[in-house]
A and B are shown apart, each in its own frame.
Chain A
Amino acid sequence: MSPSELSPSELSPSELSQVRPSAGRHTLALFKSELHLVFGRARTWVLLAVLAAVPVMIGVAIRLSGSEGDAEGFLGQVAGNGLFLIVASLAISLPFFLPTAVTVVSGESLAGESSLGTFRNLLTAPAGRSRLLAAKMVALAVFCLAATMVIWLSGLIAGVALFPVGDVLLLSGTTVSLADGLVRALGIAVLIALSMLGLAGIGLFVSSLTSTPLAAMAATFGAFIVSGILGAIPQIDVIHPWLLIYGWPSFADLLRDPPYWDAIGRNLLLQGAYLAVFYAAAWARITSRDING
């Protein structure tokens, strides 16, 4: 570093030392940066690529087997109408692939910063602990939506490419137009994304407790598995309506005419409650925690 190298090339020192804009003017910059952090990683794209592969795999399998109408439910209708590939793929991703992806990203969120030590850089920037947590949660929600949208889009492309598409026969027996069917499938993708928010909230909280991302992921996934096990024990069916995954299948009610909103609304409320409780716990933890990492 010779003196000439030290002289600024683009901005003069007086420009650099200008009075800063008032606090709060660039609040959203951190949120954008957070999205960049989630979506700028190879890992995220691997997760999304796996999800995008689900409709392709299902579609190719059904196409190759050539069987029509043997299978039950949405899968059985795919060969007749490619649009059902979207719904079938979302339904098949719901119990395992999607929760796994959400677990990985949410477990990483705060524990990843702790393990890298970047937490201290963010806090001395200063990001503000509450704002950092909010940015993490928003990025998580965007990831949940991106995950189901990827399936929707991949399902649409594979469905159109592999099968005939046409008017959609709903569960209630009525037939709606292709456009109506597409919008309903989009609605299902959004509903399933919202169904992931409870788990995302748990992941965020667990992630605030540790500086080991893998431990946070394992614990979050453990909570999800426990919810599944409890849901499978009929003797304790009184608690079933309160389990994280209880309302997940309610998305299918969107395929009725008119849609049954009861179960959908209940599920969204429950997800909101899980999110509120665990977000609050994460906030309490993160605003009081000593950052030693």
Chain B
Amino acid sequence: MASPSSPPVVTRGLTKRFRGGQVAVDAVDLEVPAGSVFGFLGPNGSGKTTTIRMMLGLISPTAGSVELLGESMPKAQLRVLPRVGALVEGPAFYPFWTGQANLLRFDAADRTADPRTRKARAGQALERVGLSNAANKKVRAYSLGMRQRLAIAVALMQRRELLVLDEPTNGLDPQGTREVRHLIQELASDGTTIFTSTHLLAEVEQVCTHAAVMSRGRLVRQSTVAELRSELRPRLVVRTPDVGQAAETLKSLGVTDLKTTAETVEGDAGELPIDKFAAALVAADVRIHGFGLERPSLEDAFVALTGEGFDVAE
């Protein structure tokens, strides 16, 4: 068993090449600190789910290794996975069974799960995700959001040391998303390490302590969220119809990394005294509609890292 401070997830050179040669995951080195809420980011098709499948032993890596809770996967999966709650690529259930019956089935598959407490634990898990009233309804009649909650309930049937949640808020309405966020925060405060893939950056900013960004199968960044955010330097943004003139003036004042659109000019003002810039722009006959510093969002950082927007299709 790993000591409490050793990282619950470590991958080394993790690579998956599918038949046909397509490299879905390319030499990924992840290290998820104990007790963290780790946001695993990336556009669709960037290799997040494939990485998660390898972490959980569902598919075998072409190269590289995975350590889960200090033990080597997939060799130790029967020992390790009972301590890991997982939700992989959307909810999957027996539609002809009730939500509760589905929970009992997956719990019975874990031979370390106590049959005597099974029903009570299922009841609690359903309550935690707000499905108590639908416990005896067939899953066929569940909405996507309800199925998503049920999938989270599967992961909550036991007390886990690590939760691996692949897009946990997929299909949920804003209220449901908020509830899942609270649930994650609550579980994290109990000391559970949470590894969650997502494409919602707002989620990362609100709940995650750490983040990693995948792009085209490669890990392009891994750090604390605070660090990521601090690197995002505020940018000077001028809204004006006279973009050409404004850009020239700002350039002469020493602003670097200038970018212009039809109505804005923005750039990196560094430590320059920007309070003098407005006057300089006015003196250069630039009409100013707006002027100020803007802190880029995590989304901007993401686009800068991956070179693409978030909801890019495969």
Instruction: Give residues of chain A (38-81) contacting chain B, Cβ–Cβ below 8 Å.
Output: 40-42
How distant is B98 from chain A, measured CB to nearest CB, in Å? 11
Which listed residue, A10, A20, A121, touches B123 by the CB 8 Å rule?
A: A10
Q: Does A127 reach chain B (CB closer than 8 Å)?
A: yes
Let me know if B109 and A11 touch, CB within 8 A: no
Stretch from A29-37, A184-192, A229-237, A243-251 that touches the partner: A29-37
Let me know if A292 and B59 touch, CB within 8 A: yes
How distant is A63 from chain B, measured CB to nearest CB, in Å? 38
Q: Which residue of B lies closest to A36 (CB)?
A: B105
Stretch from B84-92, B197-205, B244-252, B255-263 that touches the partner: B84-92
Q: Does B107 reach chain A (CB closer than 8 Å)?
A: yes
Q: Which residue of A lies closest to B156 (CB)?
A: A16
CA distance A24 to B114 in the complex (A): 11
Let me know if B111 and A24 touch, CB within 8 A: yes
Residues of A within 8 A of B124 (CB): 8-11, 16
Let me know if A116 and B94 touch, CB within 8 A: yes
Contact A118/B130 with A9-B123, A292-B59 known, Cβ cut-off 8 Å = no
Which listed residue, B57, B77, B94, B112, touches A25 by the CB 8 Å rule?
A: B112
Contact A127/B105 with A116-B93, A118-B92, A118-B93 known, Cβ cut-off 8 Å = no
Q: Mark A10-27, 1 if CB is under 8 A from B, else 0.
A: 110101110011111111
Which listed residue, B96, B110, B127, B128, touches A125 by the CB 8 Å rule?
A: B110
Let me know if A120 and B88 touch, CB within 8 A: yes
Q: Does A183 reach chain B (CB closer than 8 Å)?
A: no
Q: Does B34 reach chain A (CB closer than 8 Å)?
A: no
Q: Does B53 reach chain A (CB closer than 8 Å)?
A: yes
How distant is A116 from chain B, measured CB to nearest CB, in Å? 6
Let me know if A123 and B58 touch, CB within 8 A: yes
Let me know if B88 and A124 touch, CB within 8 A: yes
Let me know if A17 and B112 touch, CB within 8 A: no
Interface centre among A24, A36, A42, A126 (most CB of B within 10 A): A126
Q: Mark B91-133, 1 if CB is under 8 A from A, else 0.
A: 0111111000100111111111111010011011001111000
Let me know if A125 and B81 touch, CB within 8 A: yes
Contact A124/B113 with A33-B105, A116-B93, A117-B92 known, Cβ cut-off 8 Å = no
Let me know if B108 and A21 touch, CB within 8 A: no
Residues of B within 8 A of A118 (CB): 92-94, 106
Interface size counted on chain B using CB atoms at 8 A: 52
Let me know if B121 and A11 touch, CB within 8 A: yes
Q: Does B14 reach chain A (CB closer than 8 Å)?
A: no
Residues of B within 8 A of A284 (CB): none
Across chains A and B, the number of contacting residue pairs, with CB separation under 8 Å, is 140
Interface size for chain A: under 10, 10 to 19, 20 to 34, or 35 or more residues? 35 or more
Q: Does A1 reach chain B (CB closer than 8 Å)?
A: yes
Q: Which residue of B lies closest to A10 (CB)?
A: B120
Q: Does B183 reach chain A (CB closer than 8 Å)?
A: yes
How distant is A192 from chain B, measured CB to nearest CB, in Å? 29
Let me know if B112 and A23 touch, CB within 8 A: yes
Q: Does A262 reach chain B (CB closer than 8 Å)?
A: no
Residues of B within 8 A of A117 (CB): 89-90, 92
Let me know if B92 and A23 touch, CB within 8 A: no
Q: Does A238 reach chain B (CB closer than 8 Å)?
A: no
Let me know if A126 and B97 touch, CB within 8 A: no
Let me know if A21 and B112 touch, CB within 8 A: yes
Residues of A within 8 A of B56 (CB): 123-124
Let me know if B112 and A26 touch, CB within 8 A: yes
Contact A122/B60 with A9-B127, A20-B82, A292-B53 known, Cβ cut-off 8 Å = no
Q: Does A241 reach chain B (CB closer than 8 Å)?
A: no
CA distance A125 to B58 in the complex (A): 11
How distant is B305 from chain A, measured CB to nearest CB, in Å? 27
Which listed residue, B60, B114, B159, touches A21 by the CB 8 Å rule?
A: B114
Residues of B within 8 A of A9 (CB): 123-124, 127
How distant is B176 from chain A, measured CB to nearest CB, in Å? 10
How distant is B63 from chain A, measured CB to nearest CB, in Å? 15
Q: Which residue of A lies closest to B120 (CB)?
A: A10
Residues of A within 8 A of B79 (CB): 23
CA distance A292 to B106 in the complex (A): 18
Q: Does B71 reach chain A (CB closer than 8 Å)?
A: no
Which 7 pairs, one residue from A and one from B, show the smallest C-beta to C-beta distance?
A: A117-B92, A125-B109, A127-B109, A290-B59, A126-B81, A33-B108, A29-B108
Known: A33-B108, A290-B53. 19 other contacts (CB 8 A): A8-B124, A11-B120, A11-B124, A20-B82, A22-B112, A23-B78, A23-B82, A25-B112, A26-B111, A26-B113, A29-B109, A117-B89, A117-B92, A118-B92, A123-B56, A124-B57, A124-B86, A126-B77, A291-B53
11 pairs from A and B in contact (CB 8 Å cutoff) = A1-B128, A15-B117, A29-B113, A30-B109, A37-B105, A40-B101, A117-B89, A123-B56, A123-B58, A126-B82, A292-B53
